[in-house]
């Protein structure tokens, strides 16, 4: 149900904002102005700082837009040239790449804060070491996915979806390998964002 899916996504985002992102409001308001805001029960915004933050975020928005297009364009071509039946098989198998992507994003989100702190403090050595660790983790996860797919892909796909989805094992391995390359791109994105190389 797409409506329930949208509501669930909105609720999850709200939970993240309330329990995690809201703690960073001191960066926007400053501790003194935040105390003032609490005292008068109003929000005092630092508009120049928010404008600077928006300018910094614009390249990230463009990058995420391109990533979204990259992720969805193959489905349009498959549907046009192969039909809806093959599109269903393609989409089902492609969804397996979300497993490694979720792991990479979780690790990257946790380590990017450390990288950002190191960059802000001018600690180039720690920044590069953390980035190297993140890249190594992403490489291992991304390289393991197609290997596991080649060894156990057919029974796993048949168990998760249906036996007819597991006819083309090469498609599974290829998509998992492509997902691995995509994961490495995500890691590079985390590193560039932590180092503020956005433009």
pLDDT tens per residue across span 82-141: 888 888 888 888 888 888 989 998 988 888 888 888 888 888 888 889 889 998 998 999
> Which residue from 48, 27, 55 is spatially nearest to 120, judged by alpha carbons?
27
Q: Where are the alpha helices (DSSP H) in the chain?
A: 2-19, 25-29, 31-40, 47-82, 84-94, 97-120, 124-160, 169-194
Residue 45 has pLDDT above 80, yes or no: no
The residue to which tokens 């992102």 are assigned: 21
- Residues 66-81, mean pLDDT to the nearest whole number: 80
- Residues 10-30, mean pLDDT to the nearest whole number: 75
Interval 138-192: pLDDT, tens: 899 989 999 998 998 888 888 888 888 888 888 889 989 988 888 888 888 888 8
User: CA–CA distance from 65 to each of 5, 165, 177 (Å)?
Assistant: 21, 30, 22
């Amino acid at each position: 149900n797409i409506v329930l899916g949208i509501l669930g996504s909105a609720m999850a985002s709200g939970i993240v904002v309330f329990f995690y992102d809201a703690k960073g409001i001191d960066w926007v308001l400053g501790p003194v102005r935040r105390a003032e805001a609490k005292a008068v029960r109003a929000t005092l915004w630092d508009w120049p700082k928010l404008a600077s933050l928006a300018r910094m975020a614009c390249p990230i928005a463009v990058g995420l837009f391109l990533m979204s297009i990259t992720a969805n364009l193959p489905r349009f071509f498959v549907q046009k040239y192969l039909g809806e039946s093959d599109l269903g098989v393609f989409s089902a198998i492609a969804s397996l790449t979300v497993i490694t992507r979720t792991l990479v994003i979780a690790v990257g989100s946790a380590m990017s804060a450390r990288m950002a702190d190191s960059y802000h403090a001018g600690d180039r050595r720690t920044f590069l070491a953390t980035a190297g660790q993140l890249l190594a983790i992403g490489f291992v996860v991304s390289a393991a996915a197609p290997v596991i797919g080649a060894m156990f892909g057919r029974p796993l796909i048949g168990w998760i979806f249906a036996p007819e989805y597991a006819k083309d094992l090469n498609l599974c391995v290829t998509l998992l390998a492509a997902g691995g390359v995509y994961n490495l791109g995500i890691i590079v994105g985390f590193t560039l964002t932590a180092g503020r190389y956005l433009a």
